[in-house]
Amino acid sequence: MKRVFVIFILLAVMLTTCLVAKEKVVLKSVGRTWAKENLEWAAEKLQENHPELDIVLDSSVYEYNECRTQLAMRLSRGEKLDIIIIDNIWLSEFSGMMRQFDTATLAGYDDIIPAFKVILEKYADPGKTLGYYYSTDDRLIYWNKAVMEKLGITDVKIETWDDVKKYATMIKEKEDQLEPGVKPVGFMAGATEHTNSRWYDLLWSAGGDILTPDSKEAIFNSEAGVDALEFYGWFLKNGMVAPEDVLSPASGEVYDQAFVNGKFVISLGNGEWIGSSTIQNVGMSAEQFSNDFGAALIPAPTVDGERGTSVAGGYIYGVSKFAEHPELAIEFIGYLCGPEGWNDPTSSSKKAGIPTVKSALYTIDSIPFSAEIKEALEHARFRPTIQEYSKISDVIRSAIQEYVLNFETTSAKTVLDNAAEKVNAILK
Amino acid sequence: MTANKKYIPYLLILPALLMLIMLTIFPLIWSFYTSTRDMTLFDLMMHGGSNVGIRNYTDLFKDSYFWNALKNSLIFVGISVFGQVFFGTLLASVLHSKFIKGKGLFRAIYLIPWIASSVIVAYSWIYFLDANLGFLPSMSYKWTFLNSIGLGRKDWLTNPSLVIFVLAVINIWKGTAFSMLMQSAGFQSIPDSVYEAAEVDGASILQRFSKITLPLLMPFILINLVMTTMITFNVYDIILVMTGGGPMHSSEVLSLFVYNVGFNQGELGYAAAASTVLLIMNLVTTILYLRYIKPVEVN
């Protein structure tokens, strides 16, 4: 009798334990290295909202190219990834692997800046979206105010390409007062995508585009493209910068560092990170950067042109179509991309760029020239989100470099026409 | 019992054999298989890519970027291997000399570039040569004598006809320590008694070097050549960080071409075909070395 009672008690305890025990949920994510702490914050937030669950985040983070390769490999074998992060230029590759959500039902979706919603919805069915656009970046024209003031150039106002030429000429005239090696103007023509993106800003501001709207044909060799490249050429031809100065930077970050260190007085385009990570790397405070430098929207060719056109990069958080917990995953992403996620004390989000949700934009107020950075978001433009873009990018970059190297002997039109021919062959 | 003992050696080599199959043989076969398919990262997700036979190879041989990368590879490998083996042997012979004190310290110092991460080495050289941030270009404004000896130029990393040679010199700087270690082993294997006997017979320093040192070092030089060549053919990290293969692909070597095509452009099949060609080049070079460089018998 006693034995039966003990067995009964044990069974009762086991049953109760089973009923009370939380269901274990493992959310698998693949993302970028800088997102790690932010992901952990969102997992805690999700756990708070689902006390009935035992949520475990299984996150793998990688550097840029490795992230793309890992996503491709893991999704190709049908791995049940819940949360994925992709660069916007990989969108056409990965959209088929992403779950679509109803835009009307996603919390906070309307808070995303409209231009970014367009990209999210481009590869989804009508009324649907691929997730949340997490972060972006944009570019401004910057100048070294402290150096210009030393040369007697004050109240700098740059709105058009002619303004840039005018100030560059004024600096060139007083070149003997500059430190040896300092150039009136700089732009990026090195080995990375930064070369392309900063030239696209000029191309767009001149009214041109990279490809036709259906992405079937190259049009960067239009009159606008030629003007944009000749704009670079003008500074080279007038001795305001030498080919090696602009070709040398191994990356956009190296170029930005050279500018902050005083190598160029005016820089034709820098990412907004120059006022955060770049100045940190060279040991400059935000206050000093604000005092010693100036910034404005990317200038237009003429006063009637569109100022501020800036390439928008950035990342999209989505849910893979193999996800085991899609509802939890999209809720998780909602926290991550919303204002709370951007205000996350781990600050990992700060490494990612600018938020694309309007209510989180205040989080960049501490970055110098944040008003201009926010204004440039209104003019955000995107590179073609097609599979062939990485090949096209290489062709355009080589064309820019070819012109910079041979500006005395070749024309912008010839170089761009040759590049367009190659791009059209890729697009066939 | 005896029968069991017979299998023990096979059992002992089994783990190494399995590792070799998993980490070398299988990836090689898989890479060759991939090279016969029209496979992109996108196709990988869609499970497959179609069979295209040898089309990736025929396309490769029509691709001007491939030939450019091949030419750059031959220049880069040729200069690097010659420089590393030459300077490695020179350093090893100096360190082998009985007149040098503190050999351990010198050896440790020479090893630093070799053991340092390639990315760190690349950034160190960027901060030495970069037209905007580099030490040498900025010093050339102050030390004008640098201009008169040809070191005042700013286009070390941007001149298409110069950059591959600059990268080869950097690679020699990084890799010489490896050659030095290999050659040091060679020097230590030569008994002093051989030199003493030669000295008694009246052999000059030059004769001792050409008749004793060089022939006895030859097996080590051969191994050194094979290994340095293979390692250098596969170098891409320093170049990727320093120039990204530019400007205008002028510093893109074959291994970087494979990386760019495979991982930037996502053309896995095409990249696999290029990597197969790289493998064949490595094999052919090794066979040529083994065929034509024979150890010399010393009397």
Q: Has residue A328 got a pLDDT over 70?
A: yes
**Are the C-beta atoms of residues A310 and A380 closer than 8 Å to each other?**
yes
Residue A18 has pLDDT above 60, yes or no: no
CATH of the domain at A157: 3.40.190.10
Task: Identify the pLDDT of residue A243.
Answer: 94
- A252 within a domain of the structure (yes/no): yes
For CA atoms B51, B57, B58, B59, the dihedral sign is positive
Q: How many CB atoms lie within 10 A of CB A234?
A: 15
**Rounded Cα distance, A391 and A335, in Å:** 35
**Smallest Cβ distance to B265: which of A245, A390, A397?**
A390
User: Which member of B42, B138, B263 has the closest CB to residue A181?
Assistant: B138
Which residues in chain B have their CB less than 8 angstroms from residue A242's CB? 131, 154
Of the ranges A54-58, A113-117, A159-163, which one carries the lowest mean pLDDT score? A113-117
State whether residue A249 sits within 8 Å of chain B by CB.
yes
Is residue A166 pLDDT above 90, yes or no? yes
Percent of chain B with pLDDT over 70: 95
> Has residue A403 got a pLDDT over 70?
yes
Q: A276 and A252: one domain? A: yes
pLDDT of residue B296: 60
In a domain, A102, yes or no: yes
Q: Are residues A284 and A155 in the same domain?
A: yes
Contacts 24+ apart (CB under 8 A), A42-47: A42/A332, A42/A333, A42/A335, A42/A336, A42/A341, A43/A332, A45/A332, A45/A335, A45/A340, A46/A328, A46/A331, A46/A332, A46/A335
Q: What percent of chain A has pLDDT over 90?
A: 60
pLDDT score, position B47 = 59
Q: How confident is the model at residue A148 (pLDDT cuts 50, 70, 90)?
A: very high
Do A183 and A246 lie in a common domain? yes
Cβ neighbours of B139 in A, within 8 Å:
none
CATH number (3.30.465.10, 3.30.750.24, 1.10.3720.10, 1.10.1060.10) of B36-292 reads 1.10.3720.10
| Residue B101 confidence (pLDDT) | 82
Supply the mean pLDDT for chain A.
90
Domain span holding position A172: 139-311+388-427
* Helix H or strand E encompassing A325: none
Q: Can you give the pLDDT at residue B48?
A: 67
Going from the C-alpha of B73 to that of each of B66, B166, B253, B271, the distances in angstroms are: 10, 13, 5, 16
pLDDT at A351: 60
Q: Which residues of A touch B256 (CB under 8 A)?
A: none
Across A333-347, B18-32, B176-190, B202-216, least confident range:
A333-347
Residue A174 phi, psi dihedral angles, 5° rounding: -110, 30
Chain B's closest residue to A188, CA to CA, is B132
Query: What is the pLDDT, as a whole number, of residue B117?
Result: 92
Q: Is the pLDDT of residue A20 over 80?
A: no
B264 to chain A: nearest residue by CA?
A: A390
pLDDT value at residue A321? 92
Residues of A in contact with B266 (CB under 8 A): 68, 72, 93, 387, 390
Nearest to A30 by CA among A77, A46, A51: A77
What pLDDT is attached to residue A17?
62
CB contact under 8 A, A405 and B266: no
Q: Does A182 share its domain with A250?
A: yes
Rounded mean pLDDT, A376-403: 91
**A75 near B CB under 8 A:** yes
Tell me what the mean pLDDT of segment A300-328 comes to. Answer: 91
Q: Which residues of A touch B245 (CB under 8 A)?
A: 191
Q: Which residue of B has its CA nearest to A193?
A: B244
Give the A:B interface size as CB pairs under 8 Å: 112
CATH 1.10.3720.10 domain extents, chain B: 36-292
Residue A393 banded pLDDT, cuts 50, 70, 90: very high
Q: Regarding predicted confidence, which is higher, B84 or A11? A: B84
Smallest Cβ–Cβ distance between B243 and the set A96, A189, A191 belongs to A191
3-class secondary structure, B265: coil
Is the preceding omega at residue A184 within 30 degrees of 0, hence cis? no
Write down the pLDDT at residue B280.
Answer: 93
Which chain A residue is nearest to residue B263, measuring alpha carbons? A65
Closest CA to B169 of B83, B69, B245: B83
Q: How close B62 gets to chain A, by Cα (Å)?
A: 14
- Whether residue A17 lies inside any domain: the answer is no
Q: Is A97 an 8 Å CB contact of chain B? A: yes
Q: Which residue has the higher pLDDT, A316 or A352?
A: A316
When scoring B248, B259, B260 by the number of chain A Cβ atoms within 10 A, the one with the most, hence best to mutate, is: B248
CA distance A108 to chain B (A): 31
Between residues B223 and B2, which one has the greater pLDDT?
B223
Closest residue, chain B, to A426 (C-alpha):
B265
Categorize the per-residue pLDDT at A92 as very low, low, confident or very high, splitting at 50, 70 and 90: confident
pLDDT in tens, A223-261: 999 999 999 999 999 999 999 999 987 788 888 999 999
Q: What is the pLDDT of residue A345?
A: 59
Say yes or no to pLDDT of A347 above 60: no
Q: Looking at the structure, tell me whether residues A168 and A71 fall in a common domain.
A: no
Residue B103 CB: number of other CB atoms within 10 A?
A: 14
Q: What is the pLDDT of residue A385?
A: 84
Using a CB-CB cut-off of 8 Å, the residues of chain B touching A257 are 133
Query: What pLDDT shows up at residue A370?
Result: 92
> Residue B152: its pLDDT value, please?
83
| Out of A74-88, A334-348, B28-42, least confident range | A334-348
Whether A1 is in a domain gets the answer no
pLDDT at B295: 62
The mean per-residue pLDDT over the stretch A388-413 comes to: 94
A290 and A348 in one domain?
Answer: no
Of B133, B160, B266, the CB nearest to A390: B266
Of residues A65, A72, A244, nearest to B264 (C-beta): A65
Q: B263 contacts in A (CB within 8 Å)?
A: 65, 68-69
Beginning with the edge strand found earlier in the chain, give each strand of the sheet holding A53-62 in spatial order.
A53-62, A23-32, A83-87, A315-319, A132-136, A354-355
Share of chain A above pLDDT 70, in %: 95
Same domain, A103 and A178: no
Q: Which two tokens stand for residue A171?
A: 């600096």
B95 pLDDT higher than 90: no
User: Which of A389-398, B29-38, B236-245, B287-296 has the lowest average pLDDT?
Assistant: B287-296
Q: Is some CB atom of chain B closer than 8 A to the CB atom of A261?
A: yes
**pLDDT value, residue B103:** 81
pLDDT surpassing 70 at residue A348: no
- Domains held by chain A: number: 2
Task: Considering only residues A195 and B148, tell me which one the structure prediction assigns the higher pLDDT.
Answer: A195
Rounded Cα distance between A32 and A96, Å, is 20
Instruction: List the structure tokens of B170.
Output: 């950097």
A335 shares a domain with A278: no
Please indicate, yes or no, if residue A2 is contained in any of the structural domains.
no
pLDDT of residue A84: 95
Closest CA to B190 of B298, B86, B78, B50: B298
Check whether residue A35 and residue A120 sit in a common domain.
Answer: yes
Does A345 lie in the same domain as A294? no
Q: In chain A, which residue's Cα lies nearest the Cα of B46?
A: A76
Please indicate, yes or no, whether residues A242 and A146 belong to a single structural domain of this protein: yes
What tokens does A60 get? 């793998």
In chain B, pLDDT over 90 holds for what percent of residues? 54
Task: List C-alpha distances in Å: B285 to A233, B13, B133, B219, B250.
Answer: 45, 29, 39, 16, 24
Cβ contacts of A400 on chain B, cutoff 8 Å = none
Contact A96 B260 (CB under 8 A): no
**Are the C-beta atoms of A396 and A196 separated by less than 8 Å?**
yes
Q: A265 or B264: whose pLDDT is higher? A: A265
User: Do both A230 and A320 map to the same domain?
Assistant: no
On chain A, the residues whose CB falls within 8 A of the CB of B265 are 390-391, 394
Contacts of A248 in chain B (CB under 8 A): 130-132, 154-155, 157-158
User: Which residues on chain B are in Cβ contact (under 8 Å) with A261?
Assistant: 132-133
Average pLDDT over residues B261-285: 91
Average pLDDT, chain B: 89
- Nearest residue, CB atoms, B158 vs list A180, A244, A397: A244
